[in-house]
Amino acid sequence: MSLAPYTAVMLASYGGPDRSEDVLPFMRNATAGKGIPDERLLEVSQHYELFGGKSPINELNAALMARISEELRRRGVSVPVVIGNRNWHPFFAETVGSLADDGHERVAALATSAYSSYSSCRQYREDLERAEAGVDGRVRFDKVGPFAETPEFARAQARAVVAAWRELRARVGAAAPLKLLFVTHSIPRAMNSASASGEEGSRYDAQHLRVAAAVAELASAELGEKLDWELTYCSRSGSPHVPWLEPDVNDRMEELDGVAGVVTAPIGFISDHMEVRYDLDTQAKETADAQGLAYQRAATVDADPEFVELLVDKLVEMAAAARGELSAPTLACAPAGVECCLPR
């Protein structure tokens, strides 16, 4: 197997602070241009202090990079796997500068987001283009497209749901009514309307509804019971006057009636980002406790072997397309210049 013409793989991610003194500068980077005052950022920064003043994303990305490297080696490919971040060190410019200095000319980029929207897909393409320009085009990137709507992703998510459901069932009993709440990061409704092609069926929320339905069907078959599920959102931010996708997972839990317990399944995240550790493991758990609901959070998929194989399959597919051996992979978001996933 070959990954040519690519001589390296770069994980493209959001980034996160490693220590308390980095939290506010990181949050300023992440919210640049949005007019959010430091007073509000300081409030949110307290979430990080609950976890030692750092984000879990850095260690999780390092572990994912190691798994990708191991799977590539298993297939006979030995290339460096590095990381570049949008909002904290190593920034894209830093990593791309090192790649250029090391003589890499074609690099495969893999974003740590599975869906198609401006912030989760197109913005990474723009980040990479700026980084290319910063080294005078000495490095050229191709980015793997969104991969949420694949059977492998659905199966990995379903395994996590099944495990969480069984754990909660063991605590509340076989007859207790349970609810499955799929969770993803909320985005402004205007961004949702412009995501993917902008057509209703291709949008960010529609992507998640299809994934949720596929996961629920697989999990129901494995468990032998039809799961009662809904799609909810977390991590709304910004001006309260700007409409975002709803319902919020906490608001929905407060509305539930006749339910003994809730499983939350973070299908919008591939690993335990701060949005998972705080919004679901802390905040949603507190909401469930206040409502008298038994609570269990499904695992994210970054350690699932089939998920890791999927990521490497996508890299191999893109390499084959770059060599002209097969038609270009179908991408929900195309390179810059194509009208998709526009910022709103």
State mean pLDDT over 271-280: 95
| pLDDT tens-digit series, residues 282-312 | 999 999 999 999 999 999 999 999 999 999 9
Question: What is the pLDDT, as a whole number, of residue 40?
Answer: 84
Confidence of residue 179 (pLDDT cuts 50, 70, 90): very high
Full-model pTM: 0.94
3-state DSSP assignment of residue 3: coil
Please check whether residue 158 is in contact with residue 310, taking contact to mean a CB–CB distance below 8 angstroms: no
Maximum Cα–Cα distance across the chain: 64
In the chain, where does the domain assigned CATH 3.40.50.1400 lie?
Answer: 8-146+304-322, 151-297
Question: What is the pLDDT, as a whole number, of residue 333?
Answer: 43
Confidence of residue 97 (pLDDT cuts 50, 70, 90): very high
3-state DSSP assignment of residue 141: strand
Q: Return the percentage of the chain with pLDDT > 90, whole number.
A: 82
Statement: residue 339 has pLDDT above 60: no
**Residue 1 to residue 319: CA distance in whole angstroms:** 10
Task: For domain 151-297, give its CATH number from 3.30.360.10, 3.90.870.10, 3.30.505.10, 3.40.50.1400.
Answer: 3.40.50.1400
Angle formed by the axes of helices 38-49 and 20-30, nearest 10°: 130
Among residues 123, 229, 142, which one has the least CA distance to residue 181? 229
**Residue 142 to residue 55: CA distance in whole angstroms:** 28
The β-bridge partners of 231 are 182
Task: For domain 8-146+304-322, give its CATH number from 3.40.50.620, 3.40.50.1980, 3.40.50.720, 3.40.50.1400.
Answer: 3.40.50.1400
Lowest pLDDT segment from 76-85, 231-240, 263-272:
231-240
Please check whether residue 23 is in contact with residue 17, taking contact to mean a CB–CB distance below 8 angstroms: yes
Please check whether residue 129 is in contact with residue 93, taking contact to mean a CB–CB distance below 8 angstroms: no
Among residues 122, 149, 141, which one has the least CA distance to residue 310? 149
**Residue 4 to residue 115: CA distance in whole angstroms:** 26
